Copies of this chain bind each other. A is one copy, B any other.
Amino acid sequence: MSHHLHLPSQAIIREVGLRDGLQSIARVLPTAQKIEWIRAAHAAGQREIEVGSFVPARLLPQLADTAELVAFAQTLPGLIVSVLVPNLKGAEKAIDSGADAMIVPLSASHAHSLANLRKTPDEVVAEVAHIRAARDAAGSKIVIEGGVGTAFGCTIQGEVAESEVLRLMLALLDAGADRVSLADTVGYADPAMVSRLFEKARALVGDRLWCGHFHDTRGLGLANVYAALQTGVNRFDACLAGIGGCPHAPGASGNVSSEDLAYMLRSMKIDTGIDIDALLALRKQVAGWLDGEALHGTLWQAGLPKTLNDAPLAA
């Protein structure tokens, strides 16, 4: 049986380095550098960027300039601009900002949810209903994406039941989210788990399962993406240079690296629209700004295979 024949022909890498990456790094990157990052990522062909988070600046000073970044990003043609919002207050800022989409994180692990969001998962579902009402009342077209985190287990609680992940995913949609994503927040997923959960989730909600979000904490990030691709999901979050990490796993890497993921997809002839050489040049620039921080990814060291450019993508 030919598994590879089931792979999608196109995929989207949503750049979340400016949000998930930078929020894990203590230093505050100047707004001018973030703007240059967004500009260059767009020029390299990236078409979805999560530029920041509407959380109180005292909690995450690294992301305090999110509204300004949304405003700049919206000047770039064809760019879909998203932000993370933890609650109704953040959602109202997102609506005002003019972003195209907001991701509302929910942690399927009750323990993780209480520790990180100070709400139970079902309280987050209730908040999404308020967010939906606010969105509709404002006449805004901003898309609401429910992001189900710790979907493969949690460093505090341990096991997270698949049935609970699926229940919360459905509850988010029922509460008014337009779509959902599934996240391996702490790097516990393996390809078989991904295959199982994503197949079930797709069977339940189809294309409203929008995106996979994998951390590479234990080296399985790209294998997990491949497993998800086989279920038909073709949108993935990633961070340039794999920046970010997890406070519960010191030294561990963050999201899958955008450039390694772009290479894997391009090698498999899955079109992302990304110019990998341009993305590697941007990586070098960002690495300079983040001098001293832990960066990840492998492609930047080895370079593209000699064979890659011999294989043009079908139109």
Task: Give chain A's interface residues, CB within 8 Å of chain B.
Answer: 1-4, 6-7, 153-155, 158-159, 186-188, 190-193, 195-196, 199, 216-220, 222-223, 225-227, 230, 249-253, 257, 260, 263-264, 267-269, 297-299, 301-303, 305-307, 310
Say yes or no: B190 contacts A298, CB within 8 Å.
no
Say yes or no: B302 contacts A195, CB within 8 Å.
no
A299 CA to B225 CA, complexed, in Å: 18
Tell which of A7, A263, A269, A305 has the most Cβ of chain B within 10 Å: A305
A-B contact pairs, 15 of them (CB 8 A): A3-B195, A3-B227, A3-B230, A159-B310, A188-B305, A188-B307, A192-B268, A192-B269, A218-B260, A218-B305, A219-B298, A220-B222, A220-B267, A223-B225, A249-B301
CB distance from A229 to the nearest CB of B (A): 9
Tell which of A3, A264, A299 has the most Cβ of chain B within 10 Å: A3
Q: Of all chain B residues, which has the CB nearest A307?
A: B153
A296 CA to B302 CA, complexed, in Å: 14
Q: How many copies does the complex hold?
A: 2
A4 CA to B191 CA, complexed, in Å: 8
List of B residues within 8 angstroms of A310 by Cβ = 158-159
List of B residues within 8 angstroms of A159 by Cβ = 307, 310
A210 CA to B190 CA, complexed, in Å: 24
Say yes or no: A2 contacts B302, CB within 8 Å.
no
Contact partner of A219 (CB less than 8 A), chosen from B257, B268, B303, is: B257
A217 CA to B310 CA, complexed, in Å: 20
A310 CA to B159 CA, complexed, in Å: 8
CB distance from A269 to the nearest CB of B (A): 8
CB distance from A247 to the nearest CB of B (A): 12
A267 CA to B257 CA, complexed, in Å: 22
Say yes or no: A252 contacts B219, CB within 8 Å.
no
Q: Of all chain B residues, which has the CB nearest A219?
A: B298
Say yes or no: B226 contacts A196, CB within 8 Å.
no
12 new A-B contacts, CB < 8 A, other than A159-B307, A218-B302, A220-B267, are: A1-B6, A3-B230, A159-B310, A190-B267, A191-B226, A216-B298, A218-B299, A219-B222, A219-B298, A222-B223, A226-B227, A249-B301
Contacts known (A195-B2, A307-B188); A218 close to B298, Cβ less than 8 A? yes
Contact partner of A226 (CB less than 8 A), chosen from B223, B267, B298, B306, is: B223
CB distance from A10 to the nearest CB of B (A): 14
Say yes or no: B4 contacts A192, CB within 8 Å.
yes
A217 CA to B154 CA, complexed, in Å: 30
Say yes or no: A299 contacts B158, CB within 8 Å.
no
Say yes or no: B298 contacts A252, CB within 8 Å.
yes
